[in-house]
Amino acid sequence: MTTPRTGNDLGPLRDGGRVAIVGGGPGGTSCAMTVLKEARKRGIQVEVILYEPKDFGHHYNQCFGVVSPPLLDILEKDFGINLPKEMLLREITGYVLHSKRRSIHLTDEDGVEISHALRRVELDKFLFEEARKMGIRVVTSRVTYIEFHPEDVVIYSESGSYSADVMVGAFGLDSTLRAALRRRTRYIPPSYLETVVTKVHPEDPAFLDRFEGTIHAHLPPISGVEFGALVPKGDHITIVVAGRRVDIKILKRFMKLPAVEAMLPANYSVTAAYKGTFPNGPARGFFGDRFVLIGDSAGLIRPFKGKGINSAVITGKIAAETIVHVGISEEAFRRFEERCRDLIGDLWYGRFVRWLVVTLSTSLTLDPIIDYARRNPTLRQALFNSVSGHDTYKHIVRSCLKPRILLGILGSYLRAIFSHRMK
């Protein structure tokens, strides 16, 4: 028999406990599956309800669509899930980083970083179905409001209301839910960048072979754009721009840059574009009694795009383990915050790197840094780690704060200035 919770009972999830997860992306599904897995270890029965209004077969996701290590290992080890080979459309072995007049091909010097391009909606759909198979109750309707009471949290959706012991927010930057939480909690959403994404389909799929498994990342001289990228997929190229304020006009302007247009088929057309956002800093108040936010909702993602799926899955797992084994109070979720400390601490290093890159690319130029990176393997690896997410920003910054590298970068800038004056 299930004993009802009292208002101050905020300990670990008990037999008959109820968990509501808002958002059915990789973070939400990994959290849902981990709750069931850990509950079974304790020998208790719990109900997990997963809210997701999207039809993953039709709705587009404003994401690069790249999975990188250790995601595949996590899915196999922790959930016994192997992604179908046909889902992995193309191996990504490196990046080409473009500044205003320079470019550099970046690969992992250790030769271990292999990522895969895929259709993000297919990944979301696959993991969503795996969660359903485990016995997770799925509600395909939009959550409209959330209430918190001493004895429960009430989720309102387009299909009714549901009372749960705890709510996990995996809703990205959904404006309705951001506003609802701000009214009822101390939550302050993360700062974010806008993105515009489109796809280009070459008539001949062999056209994509010219990418040779590389993503082209650009720091373009376009006001308001922080970065852009071209990602080769199975039969198309995904193109994205990101910045404080970007729109389809800016996307088309980016696609007309010579270095970008050189990688696109002749007579390409933009038939559809998609607007999205992603966080570039941590949220505040992203947990409290009976709720915790994960992934993008909490701003727990690198300030530049990279390994966002990994961050969502990892924070989802940690949140679930905290709920089942530690508790559902604000104090319990401080343990969740502590376990995410490396990720949270790295956000501040990442924001510094982002500020530095944006400042140099708009006020000066990154050309001299790329020139020096061609000669210096340490700086070259640091650039690879920055765009791929292979290492933390803390380690990246520290690896570059060496007199030899700093003097080399300074010398490269001085040579560029002297050369420009001579002309």
pLDDT, one tens digit per residue, over 106-159 is 998 777 668 899 988 899 999 999 999 999 999 999 999 999 999 999 999 999
Residue 144 sits at the vertex; the CA angle it makes with 140 and 145, to the nearest 5 degrees, is 130
In the predicted structure, residue 423 carries a pLDDT above the cut 60: no
Chain mean pLDDT for the chain: 90
4 in any annotated domain: no
Is the pLDDT score of 198 beyond 70? yes
Asked if residue 63 has pLDDT above 80, the reply is no
Are 66 and 187 within one domain?
A: yes
Contact 188, 283 (CB under 8 A): yes
- Do residues 27 and 134 share a domain? yes
Which residues pair with residue 142 across a beta bridge? none
What value, to the nearest 5°, has the Cα angle with vertex 232 and ends 343 and 23? 45
Distances (CA, A) of 253 to 195, 216, 249, 261, 358: 14, 16, 6, 10, 19
Q: Do 48 and 168 belong to one domain?
A: yes
Going by C-alpha positions, the residue among 27, 90, 9 that lies closest to residue 279 is 27
CB within 8 A of 73, min separation 6: which ones?
Answer: none
Annotate 388-399 with DSSP letters as a single string.
Answer: H--S-HHHHHHH
CA neighbor of 311 nearest in space, from 321, 322, 323, 297? 297
Whether residues 381 and 244 share a domain: the answer is: no
- pLDDT in the model for residue 4: 45
Alpha-carbon span 143 to 321, nearest angstrom: 24
- Residue range 12-34: average pLDDT? 96
Q: Does a structural domain hold residue 171?
A: yes
The total number of structural domains that make up the chain: 3
**pLDDT for res 422:** 45
Q: What is the DSSP string of 318-345?
A: HHHHHHHHT-SSHHHHHHHHHHTHHHHH
For residue 349, is it within any domain? no
Residue 370 placed within a domain: yes
CB–CB of 290/187 below 8 Å? no
Instruction: Name the pLDDT band for 1 (thresholds 50, 70, 90).
Output: very low
In a domain, 316, yes or no: yes
Same structural domain, 305 and 372: no
Residue 99 predicted with pLDDT over 70: yes
Mark whether 50 and 31 lie in a shared domain: yes
Split at pLDDT 50, 70, 90, the class of 80 is very high
| Domain assignment present for 1 | no
Q: What is the pLDDT of residue 350?
A: 84
Whether 60 is in a domain gets the answer yes
Mean pLDDT of 391-406: 91
Question: What is the DSSP annotation of 192-209?
Answer: EEEEEEEEE--SSGGGGG
Same domain (yes/no): 43, 64: yes
- The enclosing domain of 299 has a CATH number of 3.50.50.60
Q: What is the pTM of this model?
A: 0.90
Mean pLDDT of 258-266: 95
For 24-71, the DSSP string reads -SHHHHHHHHHHHHHHHHHT--EEEEEE----TTTS---S--EE-TTH
Together in a domain, 257 and 178: no
Q: What is the pLDDT of residues 361-387, one digit of tens each?
A: 877 788 999 999 999 999 999 999 888
Lowest mean pLDDT among 9-13, 251-255, 300-304, 330-334: 300-304
> In this model, does residue 57 exceed pLDDT 70?
no
Please name every residue paired with 228 in a beta bridge, in sequence order, or none if there are none. 218, 241
Strand partners, 104: 97
Per DSSP, the three-state class of 262 is coil
* Boundaries of domain holding 210: 192-279
25: closest CA among 122, 118, 119, 128?
A: 128
The answer on 418 and 312 residing in a single domain is: no
Q: Is the peptide bond before 69 cis (omega within 30 degrees of 0)?
A: no
pLDDT at 354: 81
Residue 135 maps to a domain = yes
Whether pLDDT at 179 is above 60: yes
Do the Cβ atoms of 224 and 246 come closer than 8 Å?
yes
| Residues 326, 272 share a domain | no
Measured distance CA(29)–CA(23) in Å, rounded? 8
Question: How many residues are there in the chain?
Answer: 423
Least trusted range by pLDDT, from 245-259, 266-280, 349-363: 349-363
